[in-house]
Structure 1
Amino acid sequence: MKNQLFTFLVFLTTFITYSQKATIKGIITNNSKEPISEVNVIIKNTTKGAQTNEQGSFTIENLEKGNYTLTISYLGYKTKEIIVSVLNSEQKNLGNITLFEGNEILNEIIIQGNRTNKFSRKETAYVAKLPLKDIENTQVYSTVTNELLESQLVTNFDDALKNTAGIEQLWTSTGRGGDGAGYYSLRGFSVQPQLVNGLPGLTNGTINPANIERIEVLKGPSATLFGNAVSSYGGLINVVTKRPFVGTGGQISFTSGSFGLNQIIGDFNTALSEEDNIYFRLNTAYTSQQSWQDAGFMKSFFVAPSVSYKVNNKLSFSFYAEVTQAEQTNPTFLFLNRAAPQNATNLEELGYNNKFSFTSNDLSLENPNQNYRIEMDYKLSDSWKSQTLLSKSTTSTKGYYSYVYDFGTFTTDTFSRYINKQNANTQTTDIQQNFIGDFNLGSLRNRMVIGLDYYTATQTDNSSGYAFYGNVNPDGTTNGDNPFTPSVETDTYPLSTSGVDAVLASQSVNNSKSKNEIYSLYVSDVINLTHNFSAMVGLRLDRFENEGDVTNPDDDYNQTTLSPKVGLVYQPIQNKLSLFTNYQNGFTNVAPQLVGDPSAGAQTLETFTPEQANQFEFGVKTNLFNNRFNATLSYYNIKVTDRVITDPSSPFNKIQGGEVESKGFEIEINANPVHGLNIRAGFSNNDSETTKSDNTEILNKRPLEAGPETLYNLWANYEFQEGSLKGFGLGFGFNGASDRFAINYVSTGDFILPSYTIANASLFYQAEKYRIGLKANNLFNKEYYKGWTTINPQSPRAILANFTYKF
């Protein structure tokens, strides 16, 4: 009886306590009285908030009596603040709240709890440099969200990009100076990740996913808004980092897995001064892993502090930094001969044993990297905003780098190892000033960005020359016979720092420094010709100034280039279905080069006009069933003209005038058909060919940087929403590609890497404060390869386990 009385008193006390709590609810609509889903409604200076559902409604419960300020925000709409007073047990209904379209760029926390379609987030102010919805943007782009990365237990950047339709790794990060980041094929052209939060952010190593909020992959030539320094003809990769939010919280995560993987990640956010609206966030990670081959390792420490300061409703500042200390052995690819016939045409004929790394843990590279950015936003008026941006990057490489290459001097497939000591540094500075407007000219709404951009890069190279360091065979055996000496040597070449240093002692050391500057002016305007028909028009003027070697005035050159962009969007169903077409331009400033046979006399300096890429594209975008089904389907045709190639009749001469055509179609789907189930799928097919060239080696052939013709990906994740299994979930997916040419020249013949389909699966349990996950990558342990004139073996099956605690 006493126990029952005690239970009753506890229940009664709890009931009375919660019955005195207040609730605020309402419905968010646009100016046309249509509900808006996924609007953030946050109680200012607290961590309490909600996000609107498909009907635009929200509810914030368990509030104490008092006065509150609600901050209501959504990308592309003007942020609204409402003061609300509630009493104990009051159910405050605010009714309909109207948001008006404007040029606000979100900085507040995004409530993720009940958000639909978690694998899709197309609200971004970076792609168009305007707060433009995807469905009204003429450019195609993919976003890889933080929720998608979390569901897949992603621990590296390469795995993150597998979720994007039409992109494929060509080779992984080598860590070498200048271009040591990973290379990827996108719409038939190679690209590296060189953009962070819309600004240049270089690296010679890999990008740590610990600080990634999302990855944006822009498709097609994008020089009009971003220039050629950070983009390719196929597109560009922009990494959006985590930002401070209003409130206190964070998480700590530990992942352990196969091949010695250990990764610990911390994320902490707090107010430095709630009264002054100053918030601080710190993301940090330590990762270490051994290779699945006989040798090789990687370890890195990463820290990313960020601060946001909202001075008032007009002025705000943000600071972001990423500092990485990393060390790794460079992956030793098998480089195929690019000038002589191949002894083997496939892996079986080659007799390759992919368990050999052809390196040792004694030979490593250090890759320290720093990126810093400062942003100032100032509201000039209700129609115009000023955005001032400064970014600085420093990336370095120091240590031992080696490669193995088949020179074709032996009767069998024998690869000669060459090694050097890297000591290189690249520094960049970028300053942008954007004026972002949202105004009417007569009856026409204009959303415009006018920008000035100054970019400079300085590269210093004090690396040693390359020295021969023995031969390796595909089966792992070795010999010491130098292919460039008449005698047969039997020297041994130990894979140690002492052995390598002894050989490199006779090599010269580079002492080069180069610098280039780019001055740019760009303008882009989205004009609403009618309520559901808009046009995007843009133009960029670039002045490129290159000093080349700063000690040699003869290699300096300057170029001026124009880059236009035009697009049309028609929405038969407003905000749900759009038909689009675009014309986009890209370019490359080609440095003057010395030509002529040096044995016949002094060489001469020949200049070239910039290479040009022009894309025509059309397609369909959808946002159906209250944001539960997003799809993009497009067809593109990219034509590159004025390509500079090596003269086939003389290796000392260059010829301009080559043409490449790349065309294809892509489809990407993000679906949330029922609560708890999220699906991401993509498919692409690319037909790329060198259509004009004086070099018959490549004429009418698929460029090697184009990668495989067909790519596909799928990931489905389901979490039980109720019952005894609530919180449990599972995921399954696959990635695949058709076969590809590793070599495809007339004189060499073809070397083909086979097609593959790789399955992955996960299990997890998610509670309010913690998440436990188990993941299997390459579930069926398939042997597969990638490459770009190289043979790059990929990891076998790997098991990962993760525990995350949220606070």
Structure 2
Amino acid sequence: MQNLLAYYRHFLLVFTLFLCSTISLARDNDHRPAVKGSVVTSDGKPVDGASVRLKGTHAEAITEEDGTFTLWDVHPGQYELEVLYLGYAPVTEHIEVHPHHVAAVTVKLSVTQQQLTEVTITTGFNRFNKKETDDVARLPLKNMENPQVYTVVTKELMKEQLITDYNSAFKNIPGAGVPVVYNQGRSAMLSRGFTTANLIRNSISGFVYTNIDPANLEALEAIKGPSGTLFNSSQISFGGLFNRVTKKPNENRKTEISYSGGSYNLNRLTWDINTPIKSDNSVLMRINGALHTEQSFQDYGFTRSAMIAPSFIYKANDKLSFLIDMEASMYNATSPIRLAPYASGKATNIKDMGIDYFKSFTNNSLDYKTQQLNFYGQINYQLNSNWKLQTFFTRTYSATKGYVSSLTAVTDSTLRPTFQRENFPYNGTELQQNIVGDFHIAGIRNRMVAGIDFYNQRSDRNTPTIVLPTINYQHVKPSEYYFLNVDKVDSIAARLPIRSFSNYRTNQYTYSAYVSDVVNITDQLSAMLSLRVDHFEDKGNYAPYYDTSTLAYQQNALSPKLGLVYQVVKDQVSLFGNYMNGFNNQGGTDFSGNSFKPQHANQWEAGIKLDAFHHRLSSTISYYHIKVENTLRDDPDHANFSLQDGTQLSKGVEAEVIANPFGGLNIVAGYTYNDNKYIQAKANMIGLRPAEAGPQHLANLWMSYHIMNGGAKGLGFGVGGNYGSSAFQTNTSTFTFTIPSYKVLDATVYYDRPTFRVGVKVDNIMNERYWSFRLAPQMPTRVTANITLRF
């Protein structure tokens, strides 16, 4: 502990000195010669993300959302200004810089049929620093103006790391931890000490209970804190949410085909085809897809999947546009391991159990199939220069049919396999109408979003549970393993009485209204004021066999949000603070018949954001304090009843750095510390860390360097890893079961050129053995090779 405190003191000292130097440098820049300008398309639209550099110098920049850029500290003289942007012809212009004078230039880009690879290959800018998104605040708001903490994992970073499965992308999110994979292939990660599912897609419902393929990902956004004001609380956690942003059509004509092969018979083919359908670019189309097969590193287990994702944009006129985005997939796999330890046993650590890391305790005949169809529509209408209407619609369907398993240790050497034969469809609908404005009142700028939201989710469950004979997991006998096949499971299920089937339907509705206003008190000080009102209806569990419904209820909830941002140095250094609220509906009554209220989480947070050295350094450091109230705990005086006075406290520190110290070198790093405990809870849990809170310390790092000039131009290397301190699978005063700490190291080498890319990635180089919260063994060393062709 003393070493840790000393480390923090040194860290704070270094950071304070760094902050002071950043502010000093930022102010000094105002007195140095500069080149300022803007980049626009041939029809005058601003270009966001174009690469601008002065040939023969280290001066370079990326254009802002409005197309503007600034090159600082340019010595007087004559230069060639080069502008590069994907899908447009490179532009070179001659400029002259005079002493004590700002050179101004406007560059126009024209579309070219010669398709180049993304500009990130040929330049050294901070290519993983893409924080600007409309999703977090639900309106255009820069990271430095936003009082909320969030992380964006870009498709460029995922490509460099040869991401072939969705869960691996979360290695780049501070505090996400080891993924928890559930029976249907769906997954959840950690956010600020709370298990957080993957149920948000393009900022509204993406509720599918199945595996997600990363081939259609433009970005993965981790939005931190209880964000119930602007998002559906039934689909997020008190720690935040994960928003998967899908690829959309653009005006470039481009095709990319990629194949990956690797350990455990990995075979993966993906494609990305983007093309305008009409010559005036009023109709655009993009089709992404993937075929994937892979076997488990264990004795049994496999995954097979197919996904296709077409999307279309229709621009009716300058004011009205339509987006249709679909995603359909089929997934066939064996159930991931879920193991419950023996609560009365000698083993208190997964390593002490002596269970074989490479035994699956299943059979390939005991598989399941899922299918999903996710439809997303968006209508944008620009009322005038200050106001626009946005309509969002989503319809989701996912279904699981087949066998999913769980393992329960019943002695110090035996376990009991249990299988469920599922037939489980989910249907979801969400309709959202927003109005977004940017206007002035009494000379004060306001940016506002107001909207209404309707959400419905229905599920149907028909599931028998089949319990198999016990197996000695330390000395597995072939005769015991023989029972792990579909014929044995079906023969037992055929003898089960109908009452042993879990057969019911759920139907839930949410009606919401919300408003959020960002007020610029001064040019550097802004406040965010937000409020949401929710009406929730749960129709209960309908049992067709008995034609009855139980546990139906209704609830109302308010969710406020307040944020303050002061930009110490405009667009470079921000101090921020926020109060945020989220809620979770709860049904039932206590012993006296009082209906339960929604469970509420209240967060206070403060921190600092940097976007310094001309975007070469982006960082967010914050301290948060989340108090969860109205949780249920056992009523000690009345059996089978609960009291609603439970309280949980989660507080900690988060830090993220995205840096580009010099051309070609890029660094992504994060660290989180989470102190989580029950203040008021069951008698055997008070003062203890919840097991589902995960490790107290988590860290992630990725460093890469690519050669920018010379004969080896395009050659790159990357190395990184993840660390997690020890955690709990169970943590009560009567029984504690521990998951050990882990350190995982990955590396890659690649050669990236405009028309092709080849690369090799090694995951888990040290062959570390580590486990998820469900005690599922994680992938050992894996080698993946990839080739990508671009047309």
TM-score by length of 1: 0.84
Q: Which amino acid aligns with 1:751?
A: F
In the alignment, structure 1 residue 137 sits paired with structure 2 residue 140: no
Matches within 5 A, 1:177-192: 181-192=186-197
Correspondence for 1:159 among 164, 168, 193: 168
Residues 348, 189 of structure 1: CA spacing in aligned structure 2 closer, same or farther, 3 A cutoff?
Answer: closer
Residues 342, 655 of structure 1: CA spacing in aligned structure 2 closer, same or farther, 3 A cutoff?
Answer: farther
The Cα shift of 1:174 comes to: 2.1
Aligned position for 1:400: 403
Q: Is the 8 A contact 1:353 1:476 kept in 2?
A: no
Q: Deviations along 1:657-715, whole A, 9 cap, x unmatched?
A: 1100000001100011111111100011000000112x111111000111000000100
Q: Deviations along 1:317-366, whole A, 9 cap, x unmatched?
A: 101011010011011222124xx433211234311211100001111111
Q: Is the 8 A contact 2:649 2:678 kept in 1?
A: yes
Aligned position for 1:9: none
Aligned position for 1:743: 730
Aligned position for 1:544: 536
Q: Is the 8 A contact 1:334 1:403 kept in 2?
A: yes
Correspondence for 1:768 among 754, 763, 770: 754
Q: Is the 8 A contact 2:407 2:418 kept in 1?
A: yes
Aligned position for 2:456: 456
In the alignment, structure 1 residue 636 sits paired with structure 2 residue 624: yes
Aligned position for 2:644: 656
The Cα shift of 1:631 comes to: 0.3
Correspondence for 2:362 among 351, 359, 381: 359
The Cα shift of 1:467 comes to: 1.8
Aligned position for 1:304: 309
The Cα shift of 1:499 comes to: 1.5
- 3-state SS in 2 of match to 1:224: coil
Q: What is the alpha-carbon root mean square deviation over aligned residues?
A: 2.9
The Cα shift of 1:227 comes to: 2.6
The Cα shift of 1:510 comes to: 3.6
The Cα shift of 1:34 comes to: 9.3
In the alignment, structure 1 residue 804 sits paired with structure 2 residue 788: yes
Q: Is the 8 A contact 2:40 2:67 kept in 1?
A: no
Q: Which amino acid aligns with 2:557?
A: T
Mapped to 2, the partners of 1:492 and 1:703 lie a distance apart of: 34
Correspondence for 1:555 among 523, 548, 551: 551
Residues 623, 402 of structure 1: CA spacing in aligned structure 2 closer, same or farther, 3 A cutoff?
Answer: same
Q: Deviations along 1:742-791, whole A, 9 cap, x unmatched?
A: 1111222x21111111110011111110000001000111111221xx31
The Cα shift of 1:605 comes to: 7.0
The Cα shift of 1:90 comes to: 11
Aligned position for 2:721: 734
Residues 90, 776 of structure 1: CA spacing in aligned structure 2 closer, same or farther, 3 A cutoff?
Answer: closer
Q: Is the 8 A contact 2:35 2:104 kept in 1?
A: no
Q: Deviations along 1:453-502, whole A, 9 cap, x unmatched?
A: 000100111222x121122334252599xxxxxxxxxx885222222111
Q: Which amino acid aligns with 1:721?
A: M
- 3-state SS in 2 of match to 1:792: coil
Q: Which amino acid aligns with 2:513?
A: L
Matches within 5 A, 1:392-791: 392-406=395-409, 408=410, 410=411, 412-464=412-464, 466-475=465-474, 477=476, 494-507=483-496, 508=498, 509-550=501-542, 552=548, 555-592=551-588, 607-647=595-635, 652-693=640-681, 695-748=682-735, 750-787=736-773, 790-791=774-775
Mapped to 2, the partners of 1:139 and 1:569 lie a distance apart of: 10
Q: Which amino acid aligns with 1:518?
A: T
Q: Is the 8 A contact 1:399 1:422 kept in 2?
A: yes
Q: Is the 8 A contact 1:75 1:124 kept in 2?
A: no
Residues 50, 692 of structure 1: CA spacing in aligned structure 2 closer, same or farther, 3 A cutoff?
Answer: closer
Moved more, 773-782 or 544-553: 544-553
Residues 207, 700 of structure 1: CA spacing in aligned structure 2 closer, same or farther, 3 A cutoff?
Answer: same
Q: Which amino acid aligns with 2:433?
A: Q
The Cα shift of 1:73 comes to: 8.8
Residues 182, 649 of structure 1: CA spacing in aligned structure 2 closer, same or farther, 3 A cutoff?
Answer: farther
Matches within 5 A, 1:272-351: 272-275=277-280, 277-337=282-342, 340-351=343-354
- 3-state SS in 1 of match to 2:229: helix
- 3-state SS in 2 of match to 1:743: strand
Q: Is the 8 A contact 1:43 1:49 kept in 2?
A: no
The Cα shift of 1:115 comes to: 7.2
Mapped to 2, the partners of 1:586 and 1:774 lie a distance apart of: 43
Residues 357, 312 of structure 1: CA spacing in aligned structure 2 closer, same or farther, 3 A cutoff?
Answer: same
Q: Is the 8 A contact 1:295 1:357 kept in 2?
A: yes
Residues 554, 712 of structure 1: CA spacing in aligned structure 2 closer, same or farther, 3 A cutoff?
Answer: closer
Q: Is the 8 A contact 2:51 2:119 kept in 1?
A: no
Q: Which amino acid aligns with 2:209?
A: N
Q: Is the 8 A contact 1:764 1:773 kept in 2?
A: yes
Q: Which amino acid aligns with 2:471?
A: V
- 3-state SS in 1 of match to 2:766: coil
The Cα shift of 1:193 comes to: 0.8
- 3-state SS in 2 of match to 1:791: coil
Q: Is the 8 A contact 1:173 1:204 kept in 2?
A: no
The Cα shift of 1:111 comes to: 6.0
- 3-state SS in 2 of match to 1:591: coil
Aligned length: 711
Aligned position for 2:393: 390
Q: Is the 8 A contact 1:470 1:479 kept in 2?
A: no
Mapped to 1, the partners of 2:142 and 2:35 lie a distance apart of: 16
- 3-state SS in 2 of match to 1:162: helix
Mapped to 2, the partners of 1:587 and 1:498 lie a distance apart of: 45
Q: Deviations along 1:517-572, whole A, 9 cap, x unmatched?
A: 00000000000000100000100000001101245455321111000000100001
The Cα shift of 1:396 comes to: 0.7
Mapped to 1, the partners of 2:551 and 2:349 lie a distance apart of: 42
Q: Is the 8 A contact 1:567 1:582 kept in 2?
A: yes
Mapped to 1, the partners of 2:514 and 2:742 lie a distance apart of: 43
Q: Is the 8 A contact 1:471 1:478 kept in 2?
A: no
Matches within 5 A, 1:84-233: 96-97=105-106, 112=120, 114=123, 116-169=125-178, 171-175=180-184, 181-233=186-238
Aligned position for 1:63: none
Mapped to 2, the partners of 1:642 and 1:302 lie a distance apart of: 41
In the alignment, structure 1 residue 244 sits paired with structure 2 residue 249: yes
% identical aligned pairs: 36
Moved more, 518-527 or 342-351: 342-351
Q: Which amino acid aligns with 1:302?
A: M
